[in-house]
Amino acid sequence: MQQQRRNCVAALAFLARARRVRHSTRKRNRVKKWLKILSARSYQQELLLSFQRLGLLHIHSCPLGRHSEITCNVQMDAVVELRRVTKRFPQHVAVDDVSLAIPRGALFALIGPSGCGKTTALRLIAGFEQPNAGEVLLNGAPIGHLRPYERNVTTVFQNYALFPHLTARQNIEFGLRRRGASNIDAAVKKVLDLVRLAGKENRHPNQMSGGERQRVALARALVLEPELLLLDEPLSALDPKLRKQVRAELKALQRRVCITFLLVTHDQEEALSMSDQIAVMNRGRIEQTGSPEDIYLRPATRFVASFLGAVNWMESFGVRPETTRISTDSPNRERPSFPATVRSSTFLGNCIHVEAALDSGHTVVAEIPRDDFRLQAGQRVHVWWEPSDEMHLPREPA
C-alpha cells in the first residue's frame, strides 16, 4: 500500500508538472484519472490540497467563489520570480538586471514613472517579450522558452483588449474553449456573479460602460484560474470617481479568489491603498521592494521617497509635508525649529497647503489642519518637525 501510494505521488507529480508546462486537457484528464484510481477519498483530497499548496496543480473546481469564506494569506514562496532579467530594445534598456519575487497569494504592485520598464517587466512575465538575459520562473521552473499561450498567466490589458466581435460571455468563454475545458457554463456563471455582470453577458463590448468592460476583462482572465493575474494600469481607463471604488473591489476580489495579482501602475496612491507589497522601479531597475508602510515611511532612495509623495528636501534628509509643522511663535521645545516666511497659503478643503521660505533658503511645503489658523503671505512663522519624521537619505549621484 505504501509503495502504491508513493508510485501514485510520483506519477501525479510528473503529470501535474507536464500539465503546468503545456495547458493540455489530455494531461489534466490523466491526472484526474489517476486521482480516481486512488481509492481512499480523503487521501485524494489531501493530495489535491498539497499539490495546490505546492503550486503543482490547479484543479478547475477550486478557487473561484467556492472558497469565499477562506481568507487568502500571502505565502512565503514565490509564484513568479525574475532572476537578473535584462531586456534591451534597440534604443534603450527597458529592464536592467532586475530580480524580483512575487509571493503566492499577494497583491503585488510594480510602480514607477512612465518609461521605467514596469510594463516591459509585465510583458516578460506574460511571455510577450523574451529576456535578453536572466530567467523568468513560474513556480520555480524556468518559463522563458514558453509562449504566452503556454503559460498559466493571464492579463488584464490597459485598454482591456476585449474582442469586439464577441459578446461578454463569448469573451469570457474564449480561454476556456481554447483549453477544452468542461463545464464551461458553470465556470462562466460563477465568474459572472463574481464580477457582478450577471444579466449583461450577451452584450457586445461596445454596448457596455467602461466599468463593465473592465469587469469583463477581469472575468475573462480570472475564469482560467491563472497562477498569476497581471493587471496593466487596470484603473487608468476609468473615471476618477469610479477608480477609488474599484480599488477596494479589486482588492476584495483578489482576497476572495486567492489568485496572485501583479498590478502595474504609475499611481502611487493606487499601489499604496491596494497592495500587500510594492516594488518601485526607476530607469529599468528596482529601487526598493517592501510593504506600503515600508516604502512610504522608510524609503531606500530619494527617488522612492519623491515618487510616493511630496518631500521637503534639506541637505541630508527629507520631511513629508504632512509631518511638517508651522507655528506662529517659537515651539519652545527641545526640537529644532526654523524661522521662515509664508509664501502662500491655499485652502484645499481637507487641509491647508502652506508654502514657506526658510531663512536658510530652502522652500518647504506643509499640510496643516484646516481648523488651526489662516496664515497670510509674508507672515513670519516657525517651521519644525519631529526628528523621527526625518527621512535620512544620501543624495543620489546625478
Min dist CB 184 to another protein, Å, is 13
What distance in Å separates the CA atoms of residue 57 and residue 172, rounded to the nearest whole number?
Answer: 22
The CA angle 326-394-119, to the nearest 5 degrees, is: 100
Stretch in the footprint of another protein (CB under 8 A) among 108-116, 162-170, 305-313, 361-369:
162-170
Residue 31 touches another protein, criterion: CB under 8 A: no
Q: Which is nearer to another protein, 43 or 149 (CB)?
A: 149
- Which residues lie below 8 Å from residue 337, measured CB to CB, with a gap of 6+? 327, 330, 331, 382, 383, 384
* Crossing angle of helices 2-21 and 41-54, rounded to 10°: 40
Min dist CB 217 to another protein, Å, is 9
Q: Residue 111's beta-bridge partner residues?
A: 265, 280
Residue 196 touches another protein, criterion: CB under 8 A: no
Number of H helices, E strands in the chain: 11, 18
Instruction: Extract the C-alpha cell encoding 93.
Output: 534598456
Instruction: Extract the C-alpha cell encoding 92.
Output: 534603450
Instruction: Extract the C-alpha cell encoding 376.
Output: 497670510
Q: Supply the Cα-derived Rg of the chain in whole angstroms.
A: 26
Residue whose entry in the numeric block shows the C-alpha cell 509585465: 122
Q: Among residue numbers 123 through 142, which ones bind another protein (CB under 8 A)?
A: 126-128
Output 41-44 pairs: Cβ under 8 A, ≥24 positions apart.
43/5
Q: Residue 83's beta-bridge partner residues?
A: 135
What distance in Å separates the CA atoms of residue 335 and residue 171, rounded to the nearest whole number?
Answer: 62
Min dist CB 180 to another protein, Å, is 10
Report phi then psi at 169, rounded to 5: -60, -45
Instruction: Say if CB 230 and CB 122 are below 8 A apart.
Output: yes
Q: Which is nearer to another protein, 127 or 299 (CB)?
A: 127
Q: Which is nearer to another protein, 58 or 382 (CB)?
A: 58
**In terms of DSSP bridges, do strands 107-111 and 153-156 run parallel, antiparallel, or are they unpaired?**
unpaired
Q: Among residue numbers 336 through 395, which ones bind another protein (CB under 8 A)?
A: none
Residue 221 touches another protein, criterion: CB under 8 A: yes
Q: Which is nearer to another protein, 2 or 206 (CB)?
A: 206
What distance in Å separates the CA atoms of residue 24 and residue 22, rounded to the nearest whole number?
Answer: 5
Min dist CB 259 to another protein, Å, is 15
Binder among 163, 236, 252, 339 for another protein (CB under 8 A): 163
Stretch in the footprint of another protein (CB under 8 A) among 109-117, 149-157, 238-246, 248-256:
149-157
Stretch in the footprint of another protein (CB under 8 A) among 143-151, 271-279, 315-323, 332-340:
143-151
Binder among 14, 43, 89, 149 for another protein (CB under 8 A): 149
Binder among 17, 60, 179, 283 for another protein (CB under 8 A): 179
Binder among 30, 48, 174, 373 for another protein (CB under 8 A): 174
Q: Which is nearer to another protein, 82 or 162 (CB)?
A: 162
Stretch in the footprint of another protein (CB under 8 A) among 107-115, 156-164, 239-247, 341-349:
156-164
Residue type, 67: H
Q: Which is nearer to another protein, 173 or 367 (CB)?
A: 173
The CA–CA distances, whole Å, from 138 to 13, 169, 257 equal 16, 29, 19
Q: Which is nearer to another protein, 55 or 175 (CB)?
A: 175
Residue 23 touches another protein, criterion: CB under 8 A: yes
Min dist CB 74 to another protein, Å, is 25
Min dist CB 35 to another protein, Å, is 23
Binding footprint of another protein on the chain (CB under 8 A): 23, 126-128, 147-149, 153-155, 157, 159, 161-165, 174-175, 178-179, 220-221, 224
